[in-house]
Structure 1
Amino acid sequence: MMRQSSPSSGEFTGRHMLLVMLAFFGVIIAVNVTMATLANTSWSGLIVKNSYVASQHFNAQARAARAQTALGWTGTMGYADGTFRYTLADAGGAPVRLDASQAFFRRPVDDRHDETIPMEPAGRGTVSGAVDLKDGIWIVEIAAAAGLDAPYREVKRISVRGGVLQ
């Protein structure tokens, strides 16, 4: 007669394998659910309200961007002591006269801190406005009234650290 031997305490059995597989896939599923939940609750996903309508304006916007680039103008941004400054110079380095303009500030991954500020002329091709930028990365979009048919637009990613533009 054969006797069945009971597994010794150090032997890896089918029950152990089942527990390992359940733990492995349980961790993967838990991480995926967590990441999907965080992604779904932290950003609306809305870029434009109607992508078809936005696409109809693409060619006109591309033409305007090429015309603006052809001007050869250079913009400079600065931020310190709660004041954001934007200076625009023409291809020869002379200041471009700027009237009242706007600056749009937004975080790259979140829309909770978006802010639009008016910018007033501050002399010598410069406009400035008061804004409280927290430390971190910001995307700044300038709409500068420079005497053109449409505002001169510049979009730049900036880094603020210690209340100063880096």
Structure 2
Amino acid sequence: MKRELTGGHVLAITLAAFGTIIGVNLVMAANAISSFPGVETASPYVASQHFQADRAAQQQLGWQADLTLVEGRLALHLTDAQGQGVAPRTLQLMLRRPTHQASDQQPRLNPEGPGRWTARVDLAPGNWNADLIAEAHDGTGYRLRLPLHVRP
């Protein structure tokens, strides 16, 4: 028995195809919105007014940061231009996934010597951002985002 393709069949096929596309787009948009980590700053315009001066002051410090992860042990090294360990007044490290907030964590950094800190972390494989925020004893801020790739 041969079936005839009617206008109703074509309409049903078209509606099913577009319905699938629209449904997938709605699911993806809802997932993107629910996992959005948020804004970096409350007012980008105000932050931009101080950016150059803050960057110049940070560069004057001459600090270099190095972050490594070996078998769940995170090691942070912070040195000055002469390679000597730096002891900032305040130090904070936040580990973030680039795409969502659910896995964000702030490890407890344990001092291991001049300019050296370690922490035990349990990070899922993939890409992470380590946001380092420190303040020198003269009040100069130091902000740096270090990429970190965790292998499976």
TM-score range relative to shorter protein? 0.7 to 0.9
Deviation string, structure 1 residues 17-67 (Cα, Å, up to 9, x no partner) = 222222222222222222233223333x63158x34x53233224421232
Unaligned runs of 5+ in 1: 1-7
**SS of the residue aligned with 1:116?**
coil
Match of 2:84 among 88, 95, 105: 95
Offset of 1:104 from its aligned partner?
0.8
TM-score of the two chains, using structure 1 as the length reference: 0.72
Equivalence for 1:57: 47
Q: Given residue 13 of structure 1, which amino acid in structure 2 is its aligned partner?
A: T
Question: Structure 1 residue 23 and structure 2 residue 16: aligned?
Answer: yes
Select which of 39, 52, 67 maps to 1:47.
39
Give the secondary structure class of the aligned counterpart of 2:81: coil
Matched, 1:107 2:97: yes
Match of 1:77 among 58, 67, 77: 67
Match for residue 131 of structure 1 among 121, 140, 151: 121
Which of the two has higher C-alpha Rg?
1
Amino acid of the residue matched to residue 105 of structure 1? L
Any idea what SS the aligned residue of 1:15 has? helix
Aligned to 2:30: 37
Per the normalisation by structure 2, the TM-score is: 0.77
CA distance in structure 2 between the aligned counterparts of 1:85 and 1:151, rounded to whole angstroms: 21
Sort the Cα spacing of 1:12 and 1:77 in 2 relative to 1 into closer, same or farther, 3 A: same
The one-letter code matched in structure 2 to 1:37 is A
Q: Any idea what the Cα deviations from partners look like across 1:62-117, whole Å, max 9, x if unmatched?
A: 4212322344432211122433211123334x223225622111111111222223
**2:77 & 2:54 partners in 1: Cα distance?**
21
Kept after mapping to 2: 8 A contact 1:96/1:146: no
In structure 2, C-alpha distance between the alignment counterparts of 1:146 and 1:133, rounded to whole Å:
29
**Match among 125, 130, 155 for residue 145 of structure 2:** 155
Distance 2:107 2:138 in 1: 21
Instruction: Tell me how many residue pairs correspond in the alignment.
Output: 151
Identity, % of aligned pairs? 30
Structure with bigger RCO (C-alpha 8 Å, 6+ apart): 2
RMSD: 2.8
Letter in 1 for 2:58: Q
